[in-house]
Structure 1
Amino acid sequence: MNTGAPKQQAESLTAVLSVSATRTDKWRHLNAIARTWANLSDKATQGSNLRADAAKLLDTIMQLEHCWAYPGPRLLGAISDALEANDASTSARLVQKVSGALLSGDFRRDEFVWDVSAEGEGRTLDVLPPDVMEGGIGKPYFEVLVVTPSPASTWMRSRDEMARMRRPDDQFHYSVVHVGSFEDAALAMMVNDDLQAVVIIDGFQYATRHDVPGLHAYLERHIKVDPDSVVPGEMATTLARGIHTYRPELDIYLLSDRAPESLAGSDEAAPIRRLFHHVEEPMELHLSILDGVKDRFDTPYFDNLKKYALRPIGTFHALPIARGKSVFPSNWIRDMGQFYGTNILFAESSATTGGLDSLLEPTGNIKKMQDLTARAFGAKRAYLGTNGTSTSNKIVVQAICKPGDIVIVDRNCHKSHHYGMVLSGAQPYYVEAFPLTEFSMYGAVPLRTIKQALLDCMAEGQLDRVKVIDLTNCTFDGHMYNPRRVMEECLAIKPDLVFLWDEAWFGFARFNPFHRRRTAMGAAAALTERFRSKEYRDEYAAWAKEHPKLDPGDKSLLDARLLPDPDKVRIRVYQTNSTHKSMSAFRQGSMMLVWDEDFHQVEGPFEEAFFAHTSTSPNLQLIASLDLARRQMELEGYAMTMRMTDLAVRLRRAINTHPLISKYFRVASPEEMIPAEFRSSGIKDYGPPNANWSDTLKAWDEDEFALDPTRLTLVCGAAGFDGTQFKGILAERFDIQINKTSRNSILVQTNINNTHSDAALLIKALADLSREIDSRLAQEGAGGQNVFKARVKSLMTDVPDLPNFSRFHDAFRDNAKSRSNEGHMRPAFFMAYDESNCEFIRLASDEIDKRLKDGPEMVSANFVIPYPPGFPIMVPGQVIQADTIAYMRKLDVKEIHGYHAAQGLKLIKPSALAGLKAGSDR
């Protein structure tokens, strides 16, 4: 009989991304075996085999169960006893209870899922863990890891003693997980996403006593410690540093026999929230654990907004909708109140008093909210955006740039960056990302290209004017830079560069150690620590002997690893993120994160830019949602982002290995999306059998670019669908919403809200469409098949080449002969406001071909941005060349911002350009 059970050999952790998800899968498989066994009418031969399968799988599960509080030793012991006694009914009941509770999360809410007795049959509370008996269920639940040298035989008593300190008025409820070694602690911290605090008691051993296949390789993904190199007496603080690096949100408490007053002031204690002298104050430890979680749970703005909504207030300000008095009595819009409810209307105000604070000049709960946000996202400062990251980008660009500054910027970045430079008067120096012509999209800008731009500016004596490097990380399609390396090498050329990383789609990345290594704030912290270390000074001194002075004409510098002078380098990093795109915030919720060692030079301009672009009537609900998004990510962001990444990898594998779906659809692999020259690891795809996760993380550490696994480019061209058409089919027929498309693909973006049911919905849609295509082709015969092949060829093979940025017209350049490519975009932009300066030429006109051949040059008067792909193929002041025209003529998209087919291309007249002085307002 096929029970659907997995092979019973232990799975090596090196093959696992999310142990938490794999654990739940194993319990579901065990549940299937146990149910089948219990339902057998003849339990002889078949029952014996199923019992053996269940016992082997339980043994595999038990290898890691010490990392979680639930189901705990009582339930696990009862299941083992039932299997040993050949009791199929009890085994099935208990396994089903555990499997169901893990899947639903009921163990956090329902006391009876901890009970070994049968529901409704003589349930006795004295067999429940004391922490459950104390009435904690119903409150927010978490688990505390206790690392102790005490023998395992004392752990149950210790757990009960901690439980007895719980009080009815405690805000939260927790259970305790005990481990006895460094390795067990590190493993539990990695796999148990219910942990919120770690209590470390000095004196524990290093090595685990459990036999877990692949344990050491799994731990070394993120915590590389040689036990022989650990200084005696520093095992606890070494563990604390490792935990803080991997999961910085966790509170760490140290109980030590050493004098805590001396240890508290040392660098060793930096990651530790509080130190205790062993166990002399158990209630203080209990209260500290609750206080640490409360510190992250607090939402100062949201809490005050709730209080405000409950107050009886008369509103004499400009917001009739406040308190709902213009809505609920209305004869005509009463349904608005019914739809939105009372809270959203009672929590509306245009006042900045009564505890609501001002977004433009925060001094109260918004100021506190900003501080909490900076801590959560690993920044020095944080500012809140209520007009989306489009506005946040403009604020940052205008704050850090002044007229005449050169900004080295990805030509394919979001249009808000381009408009920000129009507003600030900064001169963009456009650099090109590598093309992915097959998918009609661009990737990211190679470091070699960025270094070449800096060296060209150095050669022309313009390096002092280069202020900012402006890049998108990760890109819409999932290309992640290696920000540490980009910033390190660029700072070797100009040590005071400012970096703006648009991480609109990447805000979630802070909250798991896989993605964090590729974030701007993560890189800023890592580089700050690196440049301050003695080891780096020694490394730089050796490098500087070989490179006493950088020669901009030396081509070898483009491929050499460059190091900045630690005495000159400044870490100046800005990151914007669309909180609403990847976290639980309302639309347009955004954040600006700052790690700038010279922010005192920028604070005034930043404030002015913030005032210029931020509404004086910000949406209060949006601000509150940013507060809540921060709370959620600090408390469960690790669990949610790991789960969504695991789901994305499973979805990728399910599509690409399905025998029918893969005939017409596939998810593009890292091998397809990142050229080999930027992928030195040689990694081809994610997850077994392509690569184990240790190798994947090594690739993420070392490769120039990596592909975010949560963003899946689903190629639909082989099914005969262009991206826009396929997006419509999914929406109309299957209720699946997609945002971004390309000529022959759609982007499937997994978020923290996605479930296995969502994945199944997409798989079912792809399978249904694949069957329809198969059936249609079989019915249509050779003629229909030829038409289908031609359609596929047009989408997958006959794709237009992607145009590169050409150059700015000489009228908008300070030095037409310079090899640096910056230009004055602002005057070109505003010239188009005067229609007498402009002309229109239709795309199909012969005049275009004539001017391409004989001149005069055609110069764009505005931005032209096709959707898809969504990047500007023309910017104001750009000379239009043949590749851009060829691309536009092959485009079959309906939405092109800045272009109206009836009028044609909007150009600046040659007569308006004649004699124009670069940089002038005309």
Structure 2
Amino acid sequence: MPDLGNLSERRQPLECRVALVSADRQLAGDWVDALNATAAQHENPFGLRFEATRPGAVEKLLREEDNLQALIVDGGSTPDQLAAAEELVDRLHGLRAQLNVFLVAQGSSADAQGCTISVSVRQRFDELFDRREGNFNQMFRLVQAFIARRASTPFADTLKEYVFSARDAWHTPGHSGGDSLRNSPWVGDFYRFMGEHVFNTDLSVSVQVLDSLLEPHSVIQEAQDLAAQTFGARHTFFLTNGTSTANKVVIQQILGGGGKIIVDQACHKSVHHAIVMNRCEPVYLKSVLHPEFGIYGPVKRADIEQALDEHGDARLLVITSCTYDGLRYDLKPIIDYAHERGVKVLVDEAWYAHGYFHPELRPTALECGADYVTQSTHKMLSAFSQASMIHVQDPDFDEFRFRENLNMHASTSPQYAMIASLDVARKQMAMEGYACLKRCLQMVETLRREVDATGVFRALTREDLIPEPLAGDNIRLDPTKVTVDISASGYSGKEMQIKLFDQYGIQVEKTTYNTVSVLVTLGSTESKLLRLIHAFKQLARHPRKRPQAGTARRLPEFTRLTCLPADAYFADTEELPLMDNGVTATKNLIGRTSADEIVPYPPGIPVLVPGQEISAQIVQFLQQLLQGQTATEIHGLIYRSDEPMLRVVKEDGEGGGKKSRKKSVSK
């Protein structure tokens, strides 16, 4: 339990409301009076205040009362009353899963009457109280202890205590708490800019009191256990290498050494890297383009199910939900379909770590039954960049092997400030996640209304963003990702991004040729919102006379894999020019096998993956991107004297290259 006295350092006193839910007015009134009297007589750093509410009013209370932290639910004295209480608790868990919940029951005599508590619902309760006992001191202390446990940050607290103990450092890192920089005439300005705690929290694994991220046994393990409880997982693991590493660890856990994987072609590049590293055989699923806005969405559910049916030897399905633009699958039927065929499911929730903390954003991947979920805790929550989590609920989970796989990818010198930020970000969501997200959703509503009111810009809705082929798939939209159609302004997305930055000091998240997207996160403020709305209103007053003439570039069709991606990536290769007067390059490249992943940004989806056969359509698409008026980043090209080159597998007779194994494993 944390040091409760430290809470007095906060500028504003805490207030935690605890609702006693009972249809028995007499019992509820007597207990609330007694508990509030007890709270007045004891140390009460959380500001616990008890109040009575009837079962029919408690759902409204959960939606409206941000400071509500716990419920004491009266299970009555009969089997019917207890069953009603169990049903109520299930509904309340669907609204705010983070609250501590306690049950008041009749005790052993109730069991004798057949008034027993089901095992599944028993797990929802933190503690049980007997209706007849009336030990309010104990009840108050238990409620306070459970809230204190949820509000604790075991690793962050230990790190802070160690730093303030001011130990002399005769270990790595070499800056020794910043002492190497502090008084330097050359780099002392960097120390002052960054601040002392950036350096004195940068410690070595030699500090045993801070536990080991690779083999945790104390405060890091305790912090991970709290995170699992908070996010609804069986196990949670912290990473300081980002969700890129998280995806690689999970894929290695399931497919280390090879095997078939079904994966969205538009998945994060870390998944493609893991396919190469583990010699996987991929079945690529095609994302659906929204032609009006140049946004690639999810894969059609029918295509996923068809792939699962056709590839009975697949061992893992990888889905990204939600996408960069906020589109998320109706996951449960997809996950159930995969599990019925013995296929594990990894859901990349890099952009959706906040989803579990507001009923409008649920259900999450874990709630839908995903075996593994990877989250970038830093993207939408309050953790530092690169701080991520892996959540596990695979019933066949091999924890020892998982730790070994994780250790192969994780640094043996983790950044302790990142681990602390994961601990603190978890605490924030456990204690005020609902309130924070309610405020975010209110800001989203304001932003959308004011953008639409300009008459020039338009905040796109779920219906706007879902292309026709996905209309029947129950695709949902994360409202915290706000995509604005700027077509009527006459500016391209890139031009609008520059104007917002140069003229108004606003940096947006992403653009397409006719949209800009912003994120409404826990760090969004009313002042930032005011400035963003002001910028859109000002820009709407002076649209261009001519409409911008951008159009969506549809990615070329996926051809086929001529060999495993790993075989191509590690094969004997040669470099061929991509331009070379256009016609000559096209002729030389058609039919060859790419050795690299070629990814234009936007949209960040591979045009080629290692092992893929190159078509005329692909070559001409890449040539058009390089010749276009708007510069496009293309990752994976090699430049020799400013000439773009593609690395391709050598054919037989060209220096001993291996003959490609023909594989047609794409959708």
The letter for the 2-side match of 1:270 is Q
Answer with 615-624 or 237-246: which moved more. Answer: 237-246
Question: Could you list the per-position Cα deviations for residues 47-102 of structure 1 after superposition, in whole angstroms to 9, with x for gaps in the alignment?
Answer: xxxxxxxxxxxxxxxxxxxxxxxxxxxxxxxxxxxxxxxxxxxxxxxxxxxxxxxx
The aligned counterpart of 1:745 is: 515
> Distance in 2 between the 1:614 and 1:261 partners?
52
Aligned counterparts of 2:463 and 2:385: Cα–Cα separation in 1: 34
Q: What residue is the counterpart of 2:139 in the other structure?
A: 285
Q: Is 1:645 equivalent to 2:427 in the alignment?
A: no
**Against the structure 1 CA distance between its residues 418 and 348, is the aligned structure 2 distance closer, same or farther, given a 3 Å change threshold?**
same
Query: In 2, Cα distance between the equivalents of 1:366 and 1:575?
Result: 20
Q: Does 1:513 align with 2:388?
A: no
2:71 to 172, 179, 198: 198
Contact 2:579/2:623 (8 A) holds in 1: no
Q: Answer yes or no: is the 8 Å Cα contact 1:580–1:590 preserved in 2.
A: yes
Residue from 457, 461, 473 that aligns with 1:669: 461
Rounded to whole Å, the distance in 2 between the matches of 1:615 and 1:261 is 54
8 Å contact 2:594–2:613 — kept in the other structure? yes
**Residue 560 of structure 2 is aligned to residue 807 of structure 1:** yes
In 2, are the aligned partners of 1:409 and 1:469 still within 8 Å (CA)?
A: yes
1:333 alignment partner in structure 2: 187
**Amino acid in the other structure paired with 1:505:** W
1:625 CA drift (Å): 0.3
Q: CA separation in 1, counterparts of 2:15 and 2:195?
A: 29
How far apart, CA to CA, are the structure 1 residues paired with 2:41 and 2:9?
9
Matching of residues 759-778 of structure 1 within 5 Å? 759-773=529-543
* Contact 1:741–1:869 (Cα < 8 Å) also in 2: no
The separation in 2 between residues aligned to 1:726 and 1:138, in whole angstroms, is 41
TM-score norm. by structure 1 comes to 0.66
Q: Which runs of 5+ in 1 are unaligned?
A: 1-133, 206-229, 458-462, 525-571, 681-702, 778-784, 813-823
Q: 2:608 aligns with which of 866, 874, 889?
A: 874
Of 37, 45, 50, which aligns to 1:176?
50
Helix, strand or coil at the partner of 1:634: helix
The answer to whether the aligner puts 1:482 opposite 2:327 as a matched pair is no
Query: Match of 1:867, as an amino acid?
Result: Y
| Whole-Å separation in 1 of the counterparts to 2:653 and 2:503 | 52
**What is the CA deviation profile of residues 892-911 of structure 1, one whole-angstrom value per residue up to 9, with x for unaligned ones?**
33321112573234042663
Pairing 1:865–2:618 present: no
Measured against aligned partners, the alpha-carbon deviations of 1:545-585 in whole angstroms (never above 9, x if no partner) come to xxxxxxxxxxxxxxxxxxxxxxxxxxx61110000001110
> Which residue number in structure 2 is paired with residue 93 of structure 1?
none
Q: Distance in 2 between matches of 1:808 and 1:912?
A: 17
| 2:125 aligned partner | 272
84, 92, 110: which one aligns with 1:243: 92
Instruction: Provide the C-alpha distance between the structure 1 equivalents of 2:304 and 2:580, rounded to a whole number of angstroms.
Output: 33
Aligned-partner Cα distance in 1 for 2:319–2:591 = 30
Decide which of 593, 600, 611 is 2:407's aligned counterpart: 611
Equivalences, count: 642
Between the aligned partners of 2:360 and 2:373, the Cα distance in structure 1 is 18
Could you say what secondary structure the match of 2:371 adopts? strand
Q: CA deviation at 1:919?
A: 5.5
Question: For structure 1, which segment, 267-276 or 506-515, has the greater mean C-alpha deviation from structure 2 after superposition?
Answer: 267-276
Which aligned pairs between 1:829-868 and structure 2 lie closer than 5 A? 829-831=569-571, 834=572, 837-842=574-579, 845-850=582-587, 857-868=591-602
What code does the residue aligned with 2:554 have? D
Which amino acid is the alignment partner of residue 476 of structure 1? Y
Contact 1:388 1:588 (8 Å CA) reproduced: yes
Distance 2:186 2:155 in 1: 33
Equivalent residue number for residue 566 of structure 2? 826
2:498 aligns with: 728
Q: Do the aligned partners of residues 343 and 908 (structure 1) sit closer, same or farther apart at CA in structure 2, a change above 3 Å counting?
A: closer
Match of 1:897 in 2: 635
**Distance in 2 separating the partners of 1:620 and 1:247:** 31
Residue identity in the other structure for 1:201? D
Q: Relative to 1, partners in 2 of residues 1:667 and 1:259: Cα closer, same or farther, differing over 3 Å?
A: same
**RMSD between aligned alpha carbons?**
2.8
**Secondary structure, aligned partner of 1:348:** coil
Q: Are the aligned partners of 1:802 and 1:883 in contact in 2 as well (CA < 8 Å)? A: no
Q: How high is the TM-score relative to the length of structure 2?
A: 0.90
Moved over 6 A (4+): 134-137
Q: In the alignment, residue 272 of structure 1 is paired with which amino acid?
A: F
For 2:276 and 2:24, locate their aligned partners in 1 and report how far apart those are by CA, in whole Å: 66
Counterpart-to-counterpart distance in 1, 2:227 and 2:407 = 20
Deviation (angstroms), 1:153: 12
| Alpha-carbon separation, structure 1, partners of 2:661 and 2:515 | 41
Q: Deviations over 1:692-717 (max 9, x none)?
A: xxxxxxxxxxx531122111221223
How far residue 321 of structure 1 moved from its aligned partner, in angstroms, is: 2.4
Q: Please tell me the residue identity of whatever aligns with 2:575.
A: C
- Opposite residue 721 of structure 1, the aligned amino acid is Y
CA distance in 2 between partners of 1:904 and 1:345 (Å): 42
**Identity of paired residues, percent?**
31
Partner Cα separation in structure 1 for residue 134 and residue 490 of structure 2 = 72
Comparing 861-870 with 230-239, greater Cα deviation is found at: 230-239
| 1:232-381 map, 5 Å | 232-259=81-108, 262=111, 266-267=118-119, 268-278=121-131, 280-381=134-235
In structure 2, the CA distance between the partners of 1:744 and 1:888, relative to structure 1 (3 Å rule), is farther
CA shift in 2, pair 1:153/1:630, >3 Å = closer
Determine the structure 2 residue equivalent to 1:53: none
Q: Distance in 2 between matches of 1:484 and 1:281?
A: 44
Aligned equivalents of 2:466, 2:389: Cα separation in 1? 29
The answer to whether the Cα contact below 8 Å between 2:494 and 2:511 also exists between their aligned partners in 1 is: yes
Q: How does 1:440-479 map to 2 (within 5 A)?
A: 440-457=294-311, 463-464=312-313, 466-479=314-327
Greater mean alpha carbon deviation, residues 580-589 or residues 164-173: 164-173
5+ unaligned residues in a row in structure 2: which ranges?
A: 1-7, 663-667
* Distance in 1, Cα, partners of 2:28 & 2:148: 29
CA distance in 2 between counterparts of 1:631 and 1:666 reads 36
Q: Give how far 1:637 is off.
A: 0.8
1:666–1:889 Cα change, 3 Å: farther
Structure with greater proportional strand content = 2
1:411 and 2:265 matched? yes
Task: Report the Cα distance in structure 2 between the residues aligned to 1:266 and 1:147, rounded to whole angstroms.
Answer: 19
Structure 1 position 446, deviation (Å):
1.0
